[in-house]
A and B are shown apart, each in its own frame.
Chain A
Amino acid sequence: MSSKWKKLIYSLTVIILLIPAVMVLGCSKSATTTSSTSAGPVEHVIKIGLFASFTGPIAETSEPNSRSQVLAFQYVTDNGGVKFRNPKTGKDEILKFDVTAQDTGFAVPPALAAYQQMKDSIDVFTATSTAQHEALAPAMIQDKKLYIASTWSATLVNFMPRRLVGGYMPYQDMFGEMIDYIAKTKPGAKIAIIAADAAYGRTLEEQPVKDYVKSKGIVWTGIEFLPGTASDTTVQLKRIHDQHPDYIIMQVATGQTALILKNADTMGILKDQQWVAGLVNGFPRDIVNLVGDKAKGLIGLTPYVLDTMVDNKAMQIIASYTKQKLGRDWRSGFLMGWTLTDMAAVEGFRIAAEKYGWPLTTDQMTYGMLNIKNYNWNNLFAGPVNTSPSSPFFATSNYLYKIDDSLYPVLIDTITSGPHIAQVPVSAKQLWEP
């Protein structure tokens, strides 16, 4: 046999060997949500896929948040699951949860890859970070997957008016709450805004925000957008300060809030107006840690629970469980993942199972999520919960805090209201309708 034929046979052999190897690697899991029986009540397992940002630009906050999401479901399962009365059998049965987490590094292609790998075996997905939500939304709508989102972005409302069943209040609605508070406490006040113009988008869109401010009788003096990488804010502060506002609302992340306060102190304008931290991720304790007494008098928005409430029973449970599982102390990031998405979602699954039994379809699980009422897990998720198809967010309640002379955040008000500015456009409704 000539050497040419030997080479040909060798090459074909390599190709033939490669094809089954690829086929084996490419075989996807076939199982969907499963049920199992034991000596006690029948147990059912809901499989959940989590797109985590353990790495990437937002890892600092999303890593504990994502770990917390895994642990929260694991905690429920470790403690015997959730009992429900199956209307089909008339018996008590148990829901348990199996979470598959995949790091996506806050990048779109890995998130899409993870989704493609998991979608055949998992019916419910959850994630942190806006970029991934946006990237995944069209595929999930097409595949009719349930998506429990923990995001602040109003953007997603445009994509997933019905599939987005969880999550936080949009940035613009948080801002609306602050405006309501100012209108109530100082009618006709002059405000200025510093918002973020970061990789994940702007925290405010100027025109709808301006319209809302004017509708409340507040005087608008200007808005400045900070790049996500800004290391100095003096130029923006100078322009804003020249308009003599009564309030400066900082609609930016915690680190930038601290940066603004430091710059204002250096410029000698710290005491000239009331500072307001407009985003819930501005946890008061974090800001105090960063800027010390420059935060004195700061008013801010925070969700449901303060990180100072260490004697809370729920806090103790989380601290003990995370220490046991991760060897790590809990912190604010854990609270967000644990409570705002997962524990409320567990309640949603229970409501759905009580009504429809087992197995659950995507629409049935969505029904459960949208019918959570005033959920409270060991006083951690204490704010009233109100969801409806037109307001597809778990949270419509936030606390206002003020940092007092001892640099201790104290509650000064509770705000409960529906969406202000974020609207579901007609195009989004059309997208969803079959």
Chain B
Amino acid sequence: MKMNKNDYFLIIACAVLAGVLFLIFEKCRDDNGKYVVVRDDGEIVLELRLDTETEYRYKNSYGFNTIVIKNNCVYVESSDCHNEECIRQGKISKTGESIVCLPHKVVISIGAGNIKTENDELDGVAG
């Protein structure tokens, strides 16, 4: 039951590790989270604006996920995966947050997006 000195040392070491990782991620974080980025097996397949209201049914060989964007939040409304863990993960709205559907290999995250930098002007025109 008693905790010894080494236990405290271990806990502090883990906490420091968490702190350092947090600072690194915070530094790398792209604050410009205007896009909902959908990745399928690591590749970006879809980018949607976060400030719109839309519903998208993303389908791949594993199954589908219905992604809903509403009030600057993203969530998965329905999916045919076995555990529906993606639905349980709820709404995300902050840069860096993500929803993972492990069985479908789909990651939905909020970030700056790649398409924006490539087609910035086109986007402006399409506006």
Same assembly: no
Interface residues of A, Cβ cutoff 8 Å to B: none
Interface residues of B, Cβ cutoff 8 Å to A: none
